[in-house]
Amino acid sequence: RSVDIDARSIAAARFGIVAPNTREAMVKHAREFAERGIPFIFDPGQALPLFDGAEFRAFIEQADYVTVNDYESNLLQQKTGWSEAKIAEHVTAYIVTRGPKGSLVHTRKGTLDIPPAAERRITDPTGCGDAYRAGLIFGLMRDMDLATSGRIASLMGALKIVALGGGHGLYATLTAMRYLSRDVTTVVTVADDGGSSGRMRAELDVIPPGDLRMALAALLSAPAALADRAEGPHRDRRAL
């Protein structure tokens, strides 16, 4: 479970994000990032119903960045009683995505208007927000300024197909996505603790690699036989 992960024990951690999760996990990880002085993004998203105004104000005061879409921004302002400018006073940047209108980056010094990336065709916006945040983190971790990081985020949000999950469902999705785009990103969850995955966690204290292995096999841009080799060690004990 994600709540069992202790951010304070990850020595190499340099940047974090507190995204929609269980109530307990979000509170815990925000506190741990703040205690270690690790800069992090607070991204409440679908977790907006879980907290009251005082709790949201506490999250904002701990975070370095807050990212929301325009609808979520209105809800966050209602719950906290803080305006966009007031929220921006407590963080390095308050970032509001606006779909085809681009995004706004509110800071203590003013607001940056980040233009959208020019799209060739809009198919499905699902996952664009996650890709935007990935681009934003990429820029911030490389000490790029907010304007540059925002433009990278905007480009990522327009280019990428993003799949999240695990198991055979993710494998099937990724296999199909390879025929639609060459730009496919996947976030593989590794929370499975049943069956052999549970035994690996208990006996070896490692993250089970099965879902990650399946995702890599699905993304191989090669004939099916090569994908079979990726599965090989678990079928015939041969090394890839």
pLDDT for res 162: 62
pLDDT band (50, 70, 90) for residue 89: very high
227 pLDDT above the threshold of 60: no
Q: With pLDDT > 70 as the criterion, what percentage of the chain qualifies?
A: 81
Query: Distance (Å, rounded) from C-alpha 42 to C-alpha 54?
Result: 15
DSSP code at position 237: -
Q: 74, 16, 60, 41: which is closest to 150 by C-alpha?
A: 41
What pLDDT does 170 receive? Answer: 79
Identity at 31, one-letter amino acid code = R
Can you list the pairs that 101-110 forms with residues at least 24 positions away whose Cβ atoms lie under 8 Å?
A: 102/154, 103/132, 103/150, 103/153, 103/154, 105/146, 105/147, 105/150, 107/146
Q: Give percent of the chain above pLDDT 90.
A: 48
Are residues 139 and 105 in contact, defined by beta-carbon separation less than 8 angstroms?
no
Dump the DSSP string for 15-74.
-EEE-S--HHHHHHHHHHHHHHT--EEE--GGGGGG--HHHHHHHHHH-SEEEEEHHHHH
Q: How confident is the model at residue 236 (pLDDT cuts 50, 70, 90)?
A: very low
**pLDDT interval class at 61 (50, 70, 90):** very high
Give phi and psi for 18, each to the nearest 5.
-105, 100
Span of 50-64, 82-96, 186-200 with lowest mean pLDDT = 186-200
Q: Note the pLDDT tens digit of each residue in 165-185.
A: 777 777 887 777 776 666 677
Q: What is the pLDDT of residues 25-37, one digit of tens each?
A: 999 999 999 999 9
Task: Determine contact, residues 88/94, Cβ cutoff 8 Å.
Answer: yes
Region 213-238: mean pLDDT is 59
Q: Residue 103 corresponds to which tokens in the numbers above?
A: 């995004």
Tens-digit pLDDT profile for residues 113-148: 999 877 666 666 667 788 889 889 999 999 999 999
Question: CA-CA-CA-CA torsion for 105, 108, 109, 114, nearest 10 degrees?
Answer: 0
For residues 44 and 74, what is the distance between their CA atoms, to the nearest angstrom? 12
Residues serving a catalytic function are 130
pLDDT at 237: 43
